[in-house]
Amino acid sequence: MGPSKSPARQDKEPRPKRWRRRICRFGVILAVLALVSPFVMVWIVSTGRSDTVEAVAAHDIAIVFGAGLYDGKPGPYLSTRLLTAVKLFEAGKVKVILVSGGQRPGYDEPGAMKRWLINYGVPADRIVKDNGGDDTYLTCARAKQVFGVDSAILVTQGYHIPRAVATCRMLGLDAVGVGDYTVKAVSENWGRYSRREVPAMVHLAWEIVTRLPDLGDHADGVERALGGI
């Protein structure tokens, strides 16, 4: 009598277990795509759109993003942004400077920015204040929808340029950025602020899709400033 045959081996996993593994893998892929896609999006939209004061093409408008006040005056980050705007104005690269920041009782960022620029020789009638630019999204959205800006040079720190340019362009404002890097040598916060751009880029994708703020009525400040030249 020959040897008895053993039962067939169960080489394959049970079907429910296989499906659970596939679903988990699919979920991981979706999560990775959700995290990576905002960076790809920002890179595609902003690449090749950062320049220097000397090389950037002339535009009518420069937009300076707020960066906070210290004792009512621009700190190092905001001061270097404003100085870059002065250089653009003196080089004939822009005609009007739109300063955008937050305003509340006891705190007037655009007002402080305007006073700083006037002290550095920019005529008051070439400066327009946006008192509702509390963040990057609002500065870009209000420049386009409230002030009617179609194209501009964006002025901010270098690490912020890709997100600022991408935000404005995705909101319909054609933009190129001129970034400041000089403050990096004197600020211990440069690295921390640069790393903060990572979650901010992820948040940008959500903002573009879901954020529909009430931006207010049309303001003719930019039109009047350009018309008076």
CA distances 15 to 9, 23, 154, 181, 195, Å, are 16, 12, 56, 57, 44
Domains of the chain, earliest start first = 45-227 (3.40.50.620)
Confidence band, pLDDT 50/70/90 cuts, at residue 32: very low
Confidence of residue 25 (pLDDT cuts 50, 70, 90): low
> What is the C-alpha separation between 130 and 147, in angstroms, rounded?
9
The pLDDT, as a whole number, for residue 50 is 87
Instruction: For residue 30, name the pLDDT band (cuts at 50, 70, 90).
Output: very low
Q: In the 8-state DSSP scheme, what is residue 186?
A: T
- How far CA 77 is from CA of 70, 87, 160, 178, in Å, comes to 11, 16, 12, 14
Q: How confident is the model at residue 114 (pLDDT cuts 50, 70, 90)?
A: very high
Residues 147-191 have pLDDT tens digits of: 999 999 999 999 999 999 999 999 999 999 999 999 998 888 899
